[in-house]
Amino acid sequence: MTRFGRLKLRRQVLYHKEEEKHYMPGNEVLPSHQGIIVTRGVQEWACLLPGEVPFATASRLLGWESNEEQLLSSTMIRSLVRQHGYLIRQAEQAEVATLWQRDNLLELEPIWVSNQPARLRASWPPELDEAVEQALAAAEPPVPEGVSRADWERVLACHRQDETTPIEQLRCLGPQVAEDELLVTTDEVLTRKPEKRCFWELRTAKVVTTAGHRYLSGVGEGFLQQLFLFLLLAGLSRHRSLVLIADGARWIRNFFHDWLAEGSRVHMILDWFHLHKKVTQMASMICRGKLAKTPFLATLLPLLWQGQVDQAVAFLQAYPPQAKNLDKLEELISYLQARQSFIPNYRHRRAHSQYIGSAHAEKANDLIVARRQKKKGMHWSLDTSDSLAALKTLLLNGGWDAYWLHGHVLPLVHPS
């Protein structure tokens, strides 16, 4: 199978009289096969297309490209995806095992993907620039009309540090990674098994520094080992601080406690979006209607926004006389108490342009898994699901060409 369609080669069979054996000279210049050979170029297309479209569609596209209908069947394409996904995962596991044996592990330099300029949301339209400048010139700057209080707090914090910061930069302030910081966001994506209400769990992570970023994906303990190793390579145990932002899932909390918590400059933060969502959902089950829910959230959310978990728990513990579901109230109290150490002062962090959300992990989920595997009616085997994730991760990390041109899986570190 080639990009030009099916090429049929005449089979030449020779007989060696002295050895009394048949030989096929053509096989000496061909890779091992069972009658059909798929060239590397076609295999690359067969692994690239299914990352965006269904296998049947990929089969038709290959047929149109080569002017050969049914060049590869959807089943054959699926087999090629599994084959190369398996090779990538095997190479990753072998590298992790090899690196753990290195005496100079902490001296190795990881391979990063260059960061693209961040697209930050503007806090106000350009026509309000003059009003903002006038407000900043006041002794006690008021919040200009058209600017949110949270955005204004961030602007004031930046303005106090450097009064020469141009208004265009103040308008588009956003979270930034500190020079000596490792930002880690991780999450899981559930892909459907053939059985009803059964799912596989794929895990993704994005590690970000000022030097660049790197995507990781996988399943189970192997993913955790690779993630921890990469964090060590990135400077976790030397000069960098680490901030892990996640949704507070049990496996992530266990990973933090078991693998990371002993570090002196390591922190885990419960993503504000998930905390807000959890509290809002629980409020609907705790409060007696919308009229009760509004003041409930108006009291509880500002406390959590400022990291005042003790006060929030005290408020909930005094709420039973008004609650319609005491079990859910106790569940929310337990949820906050179990994650108290991961709930910072979000207001302070946001004002100082520090991350409070796991948007990087959500985007990694979307790019690596969800866009392709979470559509209506889809179900997967673990081999196919993880193989698609492995190929997509390779592509996002810039290792695609090296793999298909030279057969090299992108390593975690520069060769020494």
Is residue 113 classed exposed, middle or buried when 0-12, 13-18 and 19+ CB atoms within 10 A define those classes?
middle
Average pLDDT value for residue range 199-206: 96
Do 317 and 136 form a contact (C-beta atoms < 8 A)?
no
What is the reported pLDDT for 180? 87
Task: Report which of 271, 262, 352 is spatially closest to residue 304, judged by C-alpha positions.
Answer: 271
Do 65 and 381 form a contact (C-beta atoms < 8 A)?
no
pLDDT above 90 (res 336): yes
Residue range 139-159, pLDDT digits in tens: 888 999 999 998 999 999 998
Average pLDDT value for residue range 201-216: 95
Tokens representing 233 are 């390579």
Average pLDDT value for residue range 49-58: 93
pLDDT above 70 (res 312): yes
pLDDT above 70 (res 288): yes
Rounded CA-CA distance 334/135 in Å is 44
Mean pLDDT taken over the chain:
89
Rounded CA-CA distance 43/253 in Å is 40
Between 3-12, 16-25, 228-237, 393-402, the lowest mean confidence (pLDDT) is in 3-12
Reported as a pLDDT band with limits 50, 70 and 90, residue 5 is: low
Between 128-132, 268-272, 277-281, 383-387, the lowest mean confidence (pLDDT) is in 128-132
Do 367 and 396 form a contact (C-beta atoms < 8 A)?
yes
pLDDT above 60 (res 242): yes
Instruction: Give Dmax (Cα) for the chain.
Output: 104
Average pLDDT value for residue range 285-300: 94
Residue range 77-106, pLDDT digits in tens: 999 999 999 999 999 999 999 999 998 888
Whole-Å CA distances, 308 to 151, 229, 294, 340? 21, 34, 19, 9
Mutual orientation of helices 272-286 and 290-305 as an angle, nearest 10°? Answer: 150
pTM: 0.87
What is the reported pLDDT for 13? 65
Rounded CA-CA distance 195/214 in Å is 34
Characterize 74-92 residue by residue with b for buried, 16 or more Cβ atoms within 10 angstroms of its Cβ, and e for exposed.
bebbbbbbbebbeebbebb
Average pLDDT value for residue range 335-342: 94
Is residue 118 classed exposed, middle or buried when 0-12, 13-18 and 19+ CB atoms within 10 A define those classes?
exposed
